[in-house]
Amino acid sequence: MKIGIVGLGIVGLSTGVVLAEQGHKVVGIDIDENRVQGLNCKRSPIYDPGLQEMIEKNFNNLKFTTDYSSLSDVDVVFITVSTPTVNGKIYLGYVFDAAKKMKEYLSDSIVVIKSTVVPGTARKVKDIVGENVVVNPEFLKEGSAILDTKSPDRIVIGSENEKAGDIVEGLWRFTGSTILRTSLEEAEMIKYAANSFLAVKISFINEIANLCERIGCDVNVIANAIGMDKRISPYFLKAGIGWGGSCFPKDTLAITSFAREVGERLRIIEAAIEVNEERPKRVVNLLEGLLGSIKDKRVCVLGVAFKPDTDDTRESIALKIIDILKSRGAIVLAYDPKARTNKAEMVSKEECIRDSDGIIIATEWKEFYGIEDLLKGKYVVDGRRILDPSKMDRTRFRAIGLGE
Ligand SMILES: NC(=O)c1ccc[n+]([C@@H]2O[C@H](COP(=O)([O-])OP(=O)(O)OC[C@H]3O[C@@H](n4cnc5c(N)ncnc54)[C@H](O)[C@@H]3O)[C@@H](O)[C@H]2O)c1
């Protein structure tokens, strides 16, 4: 089949290269000329394991352009543009813009919305492009985007036009994953319910961590024990500095504000957001508890990506921590194996540790595990619970959810 992909972020690229590997001819469109140029030179604009290799390996089936007329003979076109929140509400302008731009080139093509959109959006896209609209939300995780696209836990296909739904189902059958057919609105809602539930789970354990710090318990012991209950499961029960990234913060805001607009409140999700917003301040307070005032002190932040194995810093809690450190007068150094920020002076890991008074571990990159010896003599806050407390000088060490 000939496939169009509109929006070449991590979702569009992963979808595109995986379908190209299945033998489909894929044309990727983006409004960002630099991105398109780089891709045409086989350069991935994003770091995610295996993505660069997949672009190289399947290049014969891939074409990248800014020109929407390349969609003229596609069978299926995926909309994978950004859906950010602006002033706490979802901004759907990129989705509608993409739909309007592609409209004149579509013949009988199926338009698949993969971007995360609030319920009712597909219906509006239908008004622009016609009846053949399908909602196929994406559940990939950055850091394992290709693997997740090839074998997702489930595939959701929302459609009113059965034949269009069948064709999209056929595209993904190779994954062997369970495929669920739903209405348009159910498919849109499933994505928000899934992300919000995960965000709530993390905020839940983070609140338990706060209490543990106060009463001398270790939240990891509690999380481990409750995670053994199959009804709870051990996943997303790691206490830490809070959830960031390009999805949870914007999706929880989008669905709570959407709910309010239609006359409902999602109080548990609103509370999870509130708990999360306090996290960066708590982490800095832990460091201040060790160092006293951090004014004019040098602080090293280890990790700026919102999670390991990605260079994505969107809504990264590490960046919020850096802002708070600076607002309290600290001089901030940072190190990350892949991600960059201009909010702090980026240096090597060794310099970052050597040249600072205090250290905050903000992202659990593999290379930060087992560095207890390197941190000797420093004041350390482990925001990700990757260090072994028994190997640390407890007068100079604090960790999330670990009471003194
Ligand atoms: N990042 C994730 O982990 C993830 C996971 C699941 C779902 N999602 C959802 O998928 C969607 C895309 O996410 P992403 O992180 O890949 O986005 P992104 O912001 O990284 O990339 C989107 C791309 O779309 C391009 N674009 C914007 N408007 C366009 C237009 N009119 N025509 C062509 N290109 C256009 C941008 O230039 C950009 O390159 C979002 O709705 C997001 O919520 C993301």
Select from 182, 215, 247 the last residue of a domain: 182
Q: Same structural domain for residues 167 and 226?
A: no
191 is in an annotated binding site: yes
Q: What is the CATH number of the domain that holds 49?
A: 3.40.50.720
Select from 159, 182, 205 the last residue of a domain: 182
- Tell me what pLDDT residue 404 has: 84
225: number of Cβ within 10 Å? 10
**Is residue 404 included in any domain, yes or no?**
no
Q: Same structural domain for residues 162 and 197?
A: no
Dihedrals φ, ψ of 372, to 5°? -55, -40
Select from 123, 155, 182 the last residue of a domain: 182
Give CA–CA dist 367/364, Å, rounded: 8
**Is residue 187 included in any domain, yes or no?**
no
Structural domains of the chain, count:
2
* 5, 6, 8, 11, best to mutate for ligand 1 pocket (most atoms within 8 Å of CB): 11
Q: Same structural domain for residues 157 and 117?
A: yes
Give CA–CA dist 11/79, Å, rounded: 10
Range of the domain at 349: 192-399
List 41, 212, 247, 300, catalytic entry: 247
SS percent in the chain: helix, strand, coil, step 5: 45, 15, 40
Q: Same structural domain for residues 343 and 366?
A: yes
Q: Where does ligand 1 bind, in terms of residues with CB under 6 Å?
A: 6-12, 29-32, 35, 80-83, 94, 97-98, 115-116, 138, 140, 142, 246-247
Q: Reduced to 3 states, what is the DSSP secondary structure of residue 185? A: helix
Per-residue pLDDT of the chain (404 residues; tens, 9 = 90+): 999 999 999 999 999 999 999 999 999 999 999 999 999 999 999 999 999 999 999 999 999 999 999 999 999 999 999 999 999 999 999 999 999 999 999 989 999 999 999 999 999 999 999 999 999 999 999 999 999 999 999 999 999 999 999 999 999 999 999 999 999 999 999 999 999 999 999 999 999 999 999 999 999 999 999 999 999 999 999 999 999 999 999 999 999 999 999 999 999 999 999 999 999 999 999 999 999 999 999 999 999 999 999 999 999 999 999 999 999 999 999 999 999 999 999 999 999 999 999 999 999 999 999 999 999 999 999 999 999 999 999 999 999 999 98
Using alpha carbons, select from 130, 178, 126 the residue that is nearest to residue 157.
178
Catalytic residue list contains 352:
no
Task: Return the C-alpha torsion angle 12, 14, 17, 21, nearest 10.
Answer: -130
**Is residue 357 included in any domain, yes or no?**
yes
Q: Same structural domain for residues 39 and 85?
A: yes
